[in-house]
Amino acid sequence: MKLVLVGVVVVCSYLVGGCLISPVMQFGEGKSARESQHDIAAEHVAPSSFERSHDWDGRISTVRIRVWADDAYRAQNIHWQQTFGDQLEHANDVLGGMFGVRLVAELRSWSRAAPDATLEDSLGALAELDPGDDVLTVIGLTSSLGIVAATFEKLGVARVGGRHMVLRGYADLEERKMFDRFFTELRSDERDLIYQSRRRHKTTGVLLHELGHNLGVEHVADEDTLMHAVYSEHAAKFDPHSRELILASFDRWLRRGQAASVAPAPAAPAAPGPAKAQARLVIDVDHAGKVSTNGNTLDAAQLDTLFAAVDKSTDVIIRYGKDTPPEARNAVIGRAQAAGCRVSFVRY
């Protein structure tokens, strides 16, 4: 039977970004409750598709990561290897065409039972378990929240420029309850299709968001983009600036294009010095853009000399604060890259 709702304001609740809100909306004349719920699902609940860029026309490089699933995550996800594998495949669909990268995961069980631990606590425990010296990033998988969260801080955590991230599992039970409570007029298979697409979008989006942090990207103001602080089902791509930084980080990790940048330089012998014997070289960039190491200020020429003398197995760690000018930080990164150094980042 058709429901005629002419000029009637209907108040309904629907899912946006994982939160329940109650907007006011008006159904058109002659629409059934089922048709109206279809419209709401299509416009407000079904997620956008991630942008599948084809900008990358070169060889796709494989990059290794390592994944640890703790006791609670494995209990909540019996087939956790397949669950995370599907999440990773969707992320790779984005990373391949945009950055020429495909992540390959080594999956391990993490004997840790800490269901009440904060994400920060879990991140610290993960770093102690696995320093991640031989992979791009180390991922810890832990239990889902008992609520449907919308902010990335509740869904995952990662250090900007770090090598570790922790991701929560998906709040299946709460999401399904919401779908079943509201979309009563849709068939169960229709509800399940919407639910599965939202699950895929949110879990993939969280992985890409935290990976962006590991690769040196901060939160951005652009809503409905992957590096915004709040999750949105309409987030379909990285903003241009974040995309540029992520591409540069992958290039450094894979040493793509370095042969061309280093080849024109004269083949002068490396000057002997303390940096040759260092396993780590820490470079600090402060709020004024001043560059130093061990308390000694460096100008551009001194920095280039230092990088040239560093053994290529040395881990060059660039430390910076949230107030450090991005252009100063990026200039140091560029000089280290041009010298062929192995670079990582730490924000203090």
Give the Cα separation of 33 and 19 in Å (integer). Answer: 23
pLDDT, greater one: 222 or 172: 222
Give the span between the Cα atoms of 22 and 256, in whole angstroms: 50
Residue 147 contacts residue 174 (beta carbons within 8 Å): yes
Higher pLDDT, 258 or 326: 326
Mean pLDDT score, 188-199: 76
Q: Which is it for strands 138-142 and 164-168: parallel, antiparallel or unpaired? A: parallel
Domains observed in the chain: 61-248 (3.40.390.10), 263-347 (no CATH)
| Rounded Cα distance, 184 and 310, in Å | 65
Q: How confident is the model at residue 267 (pLDDT cuts 50, 70, 90)?
A: very low
pLDDT of residue 151 exceeding 60: no
- Residue pair 44/16 in contact (Cβ under 8 Å)? The answer is yes
Residue 257: left (phi > 0), alpha (psi -120 to 50), or beta?
left
Residue 210 has what pLDDT? Answer: 96
Q: Where are the alpha helices (DSSP H) in 71-151?
A: 71-76, 80-99, 119-129
Percentage of the chain surpassing pLDDT 90? 37
- The pLDDT value given to residue 54: 66
- What does pTM read for this prediction? 0.63
Q: Tell me the C-alpha distance between 11 and 8, whole Å.
A: 10
Largest CA distance in the chain: 86
How many C-beta neighbours within 10 Å does residue 251 have?
16
CA gap 202, 4 in Å, rounded: 36
The pLDDT tens digits for 98-112 are 999 999 999 999 999
Chain centroid to Cα 146, Å, comes to 22
Contacting residues for 139 by C-beta, under 8 A, at least 6 apart: 65, 66, 67, 68, 105, 164, 165, 166, 167, 207
